[in-house]
Structure 1
Amino acid sequence: MTRQQAERGGRRAERIAAWWLRLKGWRILAMRARTPVGEVDIVARRGRTLAFVEVKARAGEAEAAQSLDEWRLRRVARAAEALAARHARPGDTIRIDAIFIVPGRLPRHLENVWHG
C-alpha cells in the first residue's frame, strides 16, 4: 500500500468514525486537529463529556488494538492537552477514546483508553 492509499484510507475511516459518533449523539467539534505536539483525529462532545478520539483502521480487530500503543496514546494525550483550552468548558469530563474501523464490522468505540 502506498502512502497516498494509506492516507485516503485513514481519512475514510475518520469519516466513518465521525458518522458513528454522530449516530450515538456526539457533536463533532474538529477533525484532524493539529498541534505542535501531535494530532487528534476527532474532537467530539456529548453533553458534559469532551472526547479526543484516535481512529484506527486495520484488517482485523487484533491489528487495530495492537496499533494503539502507549507511544501513540501519549502523543494524542499531549495534543489533547494543547486542544483542551479551545474546546473544554468548566466542569467537563475530558477523556481520550479510540474507534476501531474493521472491514465488515460496525465501528468499535472504546471509551477512556488513556489513564496516563
Structure 2
Amino acid sequence: MSNATSLQGFGSDAEEIERNAYNAAFHALGLRWYWDTDTYNELQSISDARERVRIYLRTRQTHLLAAYDADFLINAIETKKADCRQTEDCSGPVASRYFNWAEARAGEVGA
C-alpha cells in the first residue's frame, strides 16, 4: 500500500494528519477529547475549521462554555493544532495516527 492510499476505515493521509493534529492539541491543552474518524468526518460538513470547533463545543462540550469564552478556546485549540502541524508532532509514524490522545494522562480542563 502506498503512502497516498487511504487505510481502510480512515481518510486520506492529509485528513489523518489533520485529525491527529486536533487530537494532539486537545491533549496539550488538557482537554480529554478525542475526535475519532466518525466525529471528524461528521464535522467536515462544516467548511470553516474554527466553526467546526465552535459547533463541537456547542453540541458536545457545552459545560466548558459556562467557564470559558468560545473564541478563547477556539484560538487556543487552533494555535496548538498549528504548532503541532509545524513541528510535525502529529505526523510521525503510521502507528501514531491511531494513538488515542484522550487516553493519555493529562490534567482535565472543565471537569
Q: What is the TM-score normalised by the length of structure 2? A: 0.36
Quick check: which one's strand share is greater?
Answer: 1
Q: Which has the higher contact order (CA 8 A, sep 6+)?
A: 2
Quick check: which one's helix share is greater?
Answer: 2
Q: What is the TM-score normalised by the length of structure 1? A: 0.35
